[in-house]
Every structure is written in structure tokens, then in C-alpha cells.
Structure 1
């Protein structure tokens, strides 16, 4: 049987942990960057269904550099940490310009290209959700 002192010690520890959690949460500031339900081209966001892997990468794109025409079979998200990036949907010709602080929800399975249109390097934090061992970029073959 558990004694009174043991119960009292357990209750005190629980109170201490609860108050520590509250103090820790008060020291955290959350700044939402984006809330989206569609990709950059207006598609509903679709996610992989099996053998899901999450890849987190950084990209540095030099001033004036242009990425080749490509597409992503699965969801890709990016946060622009620096620079100015222009992304163009090759089917529609529609372009979107992203700047520092913007969140990019890449189009899924649509051909597009991107280029650094600013004077500084574009710095991206990229998160991919993919199936299996493959990657998330398919290059267009001319």
C-alpha cells in the first residue's frame, strides 16, 4: 500500500511539473508564417500515402541563376530566408515572385522553373514529403 508521504511527494512532483510546463510555454513565442490549403497554382495539397519520408534541406541560389524546368510529384514547402525568387508555371506562363519571409507551397506535378531575380543569393529552407527512397524533383527532358 502506498503511504501518505509517498502520495504527498507524488502530488508535489506533479504540481511542480505542471507549473514548469506553464513557465516553459510562457517563454515560447509562435509566429505563424502561413496557412494554406492550395499549392501555388491553386491545386489542393496532396500528401504521400505510403512509405512517407520527410526531407529538410537548404538551398542557396546565386544571383542571376535559373533552375531548369522541373516538377515535384509530392508536396514541397519552402520558406524564403533571403533574396528574391521568381517561379513560373511553364503551362500557363503565370509567374509568382517570392521574397524574404514568404512561404512557397510548390505546385504538384506541374512543370515550372525558377530564377533568382535579385542581387543577393536566394536562401530557402525546403521541406519535402515523399514516398519511398526516391527524390522529389523530376527534370524536364527537352
Structure 2
């Protein structure tokens, strides 16, 4: 490569790197939560093949409940509003999640949930599953 071409390449690399630096100065990142375990203390495990990610919103009316169910794969939820009590059906231990909380749901453990407040519970939910498998299984009565 000729020296003028080398200088031009170095100049372009410098401009690109400084442009990136300027762009990053305009971005503020605020970590909201860091977790390494599910709500019941399990290590977080992820699907290993044919991963499918589904992003959903949930609205749960005041005093309404979800039936006993479980998730074979990872599910994450951010509580946008309200108060949601989640109870592990196997241990009967409960947690109440409120506006702003980040929830990593228990994996493959039966549980149920109830809106324990006067406001609608609004959730942003992210599921990670393998292939076409659903991530919510209802327990037979």
C-alpha cells in the first residue's frame, strides 16, 4: 500500500473512532437490575437450540389471578404498574412485585399469581423458548 493510501486509511479509522466516541457521549445507560437467579433461587438457564424470543405485554385486572402454571424456559418480566403476588405452588413461598421490579420467573416449577392491588398490573414479558414449544404450561385440575 502506498504511504498516502496508508495515511488516508489511518485518517478514516481515526474519524470513525472519534465519531463513535462522540455518539457514545450522548448515550446514558442506567442499569436497573442485575440477577443471576430465578425468583426461587435457581441458576438462570437458557434454551440451547432453535431459540425463539417472544416479547409481550400483560394486563391483569385488580384482584384477578393467574392459574397454576409453569415455564419450561426462561421468562423475564418488568412490572410497569401494580402489585403482583407470585406464589410457588410447591413450597407456598410468595413474593410481591411492584412497579419497577424486574422478575426472573422460576423455571419448571408450578406457581400462580394474583394482582393484590387496586390498580391494573401491567407487565412487559420476554420469553426465550426452543422452537415452537410454548413457555406456559397449565397444571391439570
TM-score range, shorter chain: over 0.9
Give 2:133's aligned residue.
134
1:1-142 matched pairs, under 5 angstroms:
2=2, 4=4, 6-142=5-141
User: Where does the alignment leave 5 or more consecutive residues of structure 1 unmatched?
Assistant: none
SS at match of 2:24: helix
Matched position secondary structure for 2:54: strand
Q: Distance in 2 between matches of 1:94 and 1:44?
A: 18
Task: Work out the CA distance in 2 between the residues paired with 1:42 and 1:101.
Answer: 20
Aligned length: 141
CA RMSD between the two structures? 1.4
The SS at the match of 1:7 is helix
Structure 1 counterpart SS, 2:21: helix
TM-score by length of 2: 0.92
SS of residue matched to 1:69:
strand
* Distance across 2 between alignment mates of 1:2 and 1:136: 59
- The CA deviation at 1:110 is 0.7
